[in-house]
Amino acid sequence: MSNEVRVWVDGALVGADQPALAALDHGVTVGDGAFETCKIVDGQVFAADRHYARLDRTLAGLGLPPADREVIEQGVAAVLGAGPTIGFGRLRYTITAGLGPLGSDRGDSGMTYIVTAAEVPPFAPSVAVATVPWTRNERAATAGLKTTSYADNVIALAHAKARGASEAIFGNNRDELCEATGSNIFVVVDGVVRTPALSSAPLAGITRELTIEWARAAGIEVVEEALPMSVLETCDEVFLTGTTRDVHPVHRVDDRELPAPGPVTTRVQQAWAAASATEINP
């Protein structure tokens, strides 16, 4: 597998280690931007339209105009065509507010477009997660938005990895289960799949959305609701969903061991595999 990251910025392919952004880009100075990460399957982008729609929801939440999809498509074509076909990988496009002052005020230079792509290895069959002492703020201006301001996630993930886990789990300020740093969380209680409602402030994950749709279509009961953090101490199964994770079983939460995959998680995995194999842009 190649470790090469293909990079395109505002109309041109650039080396991954070459400077390509202005020092005063608002995405650099204050993290003012939005991004999407998509799965690449045999050189094609999975669920592309859903990702575009979420990008525009994030940009609107930031007070920025909708993205120019034709510009993004130009970048996508450039990075996907810049080498051998990527069989399994990650495509990311980032849109920043463009040049701005050294502060929270914005300039009016127009937005910056960045597209990257790379092969990635598949995840292990199951994962350990750790809860963290920090919370998501369900009343934050950026709640539920996929912005480039990821410092909280960096800190939380380092905390989890120091404890032998590879993903961190946040609650919110109401002590409700919320999400992980780069994935959504589901629990199984008495045979029913449950996941935090969007009112608890998780990101509206594309894989989360499709998992709910496809599991329900397969006859699996899925409930979106506010869940206490303590559900992680009593639930029967846990799994994560994410762009390149798909449906990913959890075998340990903090010090608590769990079956991975449990019987319900296995059914959800089967429903995902069957449905996702039929369409690249569901």
Judge residue 166's burial from the number of C-beta atoms within 10 Å of its C-beta, 0-12 exposed, 13-18 middle, 19 or more buried.
Answer: middle
Tokens found for residue 204 = 């509206």
Judge residue 266's burial from the number of C-beta atoms within 10 Å of its C-beta, 0-12 exposed, 13-18 middle, 19 or more buried.
Answer: middle
As a whole number of angstroms, the distance between CA 136 and CA 121 comes to 29
- Strand locations in 15-87 (E): 33-41, 44-45
- Residue 2 pLDDT exceeds 80: no
pLDDT tens track for 95-145: 999 999 999 999 988 999 999 999 999 999 999 999 999 999 999 999 999
pLDDT score, position 162: 98
pTM of the model: 0.96
- Residue 3 pLDDT exceeds 90: no
CB 165 within 8 A of CB 130: yes
Return the CATH class of domain 127-276.
Answer: alpha beta
- Residue 1 pLDDT exceeds 90: no
> Which sequence spans correspond to the domains of the chain?
6-119, 127-276
What CATH number belongs to 6-119?
A: 3.30.470.10
In what helix (H) or strand (E) does residue 208 lie, and over which residues does it extend?
A: helix 206-217
- Residue 242 pLDDT exceeds 90: yes
Q: Residues 63-73: what's their mean pLDDT?
A: 97
pLDDT tens track for 7-33: 999 999 999 999 999 999 999 999 999
Q: Who contacts 259 (Cβ-Cβ below 8 Å, separation ≥6)?
A: 236, 237, 251
Q: How far apart, in Å, are the Cα atoms of 204 and each of 162, 178, 183, 201, 234?
A: 28, 11, 10, 9, 25
pLDDT score, position 184: 98
